[in-house]
């Protein structure tokens, strides 16, 4: 299925960004005239503001994509003030972004999607996803399996074999 001619790419550098308070997101979305202009939450970005945004959105190229991992190439190195990458990937605390092995801050774009603060000079982003709670859940499962095995072994050792 072909994308609509005016559809935004899956990952892109937006042409503008507004920093808003969380309750204002519904009003921002309702009044949206330029889908390539995104909203960022003030409590996530603090004093940082995206700079050097292009006059029209710039698409990023996927270098590799496998479940839980994505490598993206920026169309040009991030300028001296860095930039912002917006995606249509649903935001989750499980996403981690990095460039050249250095972690990068992620944030919420348009109240629902993953965004990345990109420092100056970066030409490649690496994204990884680990579902929140997965490691704790696996640890809990392993602990329960060990306890169950110990209890079953104790019962088998204490119970005399049934007479035939």
Element (H, E) at 14: none
Checking if the pLDDT of 2 tops 70, the result is: no
Q: Residues 48-87: pLDDT tens digits?
A: 998 878 999 999 999 999 999 999 999 988 888 889 999 9
| Confidence bin at 109 (pLDDT 50/70/90) | very high
| Confidence bin at 145 (pLDDT 50/70/90) | confident
Strand locations in the chain (E): 11-13, 16-20, 37-41, 58-59, 61-66, 69-73, 83-90, 95-99, 102-104, 106-109, 113-118, 124-129
Q: Could you give the CA distance from residue 89 to residue 31 in angstroms, rounded to a whole number?
A: 22
| Confidence bin at 157 (pLDDT 50/70/90) | confident
Per-residue pLDDT at 52: 79
Q: Tell me what the pLDDT averaged over the chain comes to.
A: 89
- Residue 79 tokens read as 């300028």
| Confidence bin at 163 (pLDDT 50/70/90) | low
Instruction: Report how far apart, in Å, the C-alpha atoms of 64 and of each of 55, 73, 76, 87, 157 are.
Output: 27, 10, 18, 16, 53
83 vs 7, residue with greater confidence: 83
Checking if the pLDDT of 3 tops 80, the result is: no
Checking if the pLDDT of 4 tops 80, the result is: no
Write down the residue that tokens 């990109």 correspond to.
118
């Amino acid at each position: 299925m072909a994308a609509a001619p005016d559809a935004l790419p899956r990952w892109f550098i937006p042409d503008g960004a507004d920093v808003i308070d969380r309750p204002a997101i519904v009003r921002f979305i309702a009044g949206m005239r330029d889908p390539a202009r995104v909203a960022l939450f003030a409590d996530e970005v603090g004093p940082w503001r995206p700079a050097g945004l292009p006059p029209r959105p710039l698409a990023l190229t996927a270098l590799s994509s496998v479940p839980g991992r994505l490598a993206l190439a920026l169309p040009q190195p991030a300028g001296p003030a860095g930039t912002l990458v917006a995606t249509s990937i649903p935001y989750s605390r499980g996403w981690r972004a990095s460039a050249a092995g250095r972690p990068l801050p992620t944030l919420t774009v348009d109240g629902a999607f993953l965004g990345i603060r990109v420092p100056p000079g970066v030409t490649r982003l690496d994204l990884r996803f680990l579902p929140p709670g997965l490691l704790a859940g696996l640890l809990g499962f392993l602990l329960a399996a060990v306890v169950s095995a110990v209890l079953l072994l104790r019962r088998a050792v204490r119970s005399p074999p049934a007479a035939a």
